[in-house]
Amino acid sequence: MGEVAVDSASEGARTPAPEQASEQAPEQATALSPRRRKARGRGRKVVALAVLVLLAGGGVTAAKLGLGDRGSGDKAASELPPSTAEVTRRTLKDTQSVDGQLGFGPTTTLTARRPGTVTEAPDAGDRITRGKALYGVDGRPVTLMYGSTPAYRALKQGAEGADVRQLEKNLSALGYTGFTVDDEYTAGTADAVREWQEDLGLAETGAVELGSVVFAPDAVRVDSVAARKGDTVGPGGKVLSYTGTEQAVTVELDPADQRLAKKGREVEVELPDDRTVKGTVQDVATVIEPGNGQGEEAKTKVEVVIGFKDAAGRKAADAYALAAVHVDFTSETRKDVLTVPVGALLALAEGGFGVEVVHGSASEYVPVTTGLFADGRVEISGKGIAEGTKVGVPK
């Protein structure tokens, strides 16, 4: 919108009235008059102010704004800018800070698979590892084993599948032998299961009943307990909820910001004491929250789990059980690029961007190609633009 206003003003300055055309033609063929050059310089700066309002937020590229390099040759400026800055080489980062919650990551609800009376229950905060009981029903333990596939059927000799392999991996890790870890539940597997059942004081059937084992990716921390010792539970009834054992930061993003969270990407976490530690995105999941009725629509969120990258970060986070934190995501990095303050950028009347390059007591407008905008600076490149080049900036 600003460019249109300047174009019309510039055309008014450049185009003489019909009766004056023959008199002014020689002057136009050589150079602009001082008065007209000054008008063009001011016009460009007005456009720059309008555009820079949009760009001042930083962290965007000209391409994202639909503004490319449409510049022409160099144009002379008639007066020096009020102040100057040097083109410097540095690394720019597109960083966005969001609020997060320090805890132990997302919670998982554990429900009963078989009815009975709770005879063993943990306390909130307990840590449970492979082979240990999460809780007990009618005197029989419900045992934790590691794996990503949930228990969904009873397993016995003749069964085949990934869940069989998962069970056998756990039996092997617990020290049971006599079978091959594969997808087949063989007689050797059944014998190992009998030994395991004997150690737990269970009937030695050689088969794993549905509901006797719970699979989780790793050791768990009990977050809350719903069914206490002596309570009666039925299939589907909530028993407890658990998290991982390592502290983690959970962040909710709008779907439009999902580009920030890529699995494995490094982030910075600012703790309540203002210390900053490094983290890594461990998991990204889309979560749909149903509406509360009354015509309210469901909401879609992107849930991001961030773990601490090193021992120093984990130690710093240990000071807090739960805390609000800030997470800085960097979605784009431009290393060792030429940059100027955003205020140095001008929107040229003929299109595109430029800067006013100062040479001693003179200056000229030089078209440039813009890259990343971040931290109040912009990446630029163009003819004659080098580290140390002086460019005009507002006071």
- 34-55 vs 2-14: helix axis angle to the nearest 10? 170
The domain ranges of the chain are 2-92+333-393, 97-104+246-330, 108-244
pLDDT by residue (tens digit) across 229-260?
999 999 999 999 999 999 999 999 999 888 88
- What CATH number is given for 97-104+246-330 in this structure? 2.40.30.170
Fold classified for 108-244: Muramoyl-pentapeptide Carboxypeptidase; domain 1 (1.10.101)
Residues found in the chain: 395
Element containing residue 45 per DSSP (H, E): helix 34-55
Same fold, 97-104+246-330 and 108-244: no
Full pLDDT tens readout for the chain, 395 residues: 443 333 333 333 333 333 333 333 333 333 323 333 333 333 343 344 444 444 444 444 443 333 333 344 444 555 899 999 999 999 999 889 999 999 998 899 999 999 999 999 999 999 999 999 999 999 999 999 999 999 999 999 999 999 999 999 999 999 999 999 999 999 999 999 999 999 999 999 999 999 999 999 999 999 999 999 999 999 999 999 999 999 999 999 999 888 888 999 999 999 999 999 999 999 999 988 887 767 778 889 999 999 999 999 999 999 998 999 999 999 889 999 999 999 999 999 889 999 999 999 999 999 999 999 988 999 999 999 999 999 999 98
> pTM here?
0.63
The residue among 85, 2, 75, 32 whose CA lies nearest residue 347 is: 2
The pair of structure tokens assigned to 283 is 């998991």
The residue among 394, 379, 300, 374 whose CA lies nearest residue 340 is: 379
Element containing residue 244 per DSSP (H, E): strand 238-244
- Tokens 């940059």 -> residue: 339
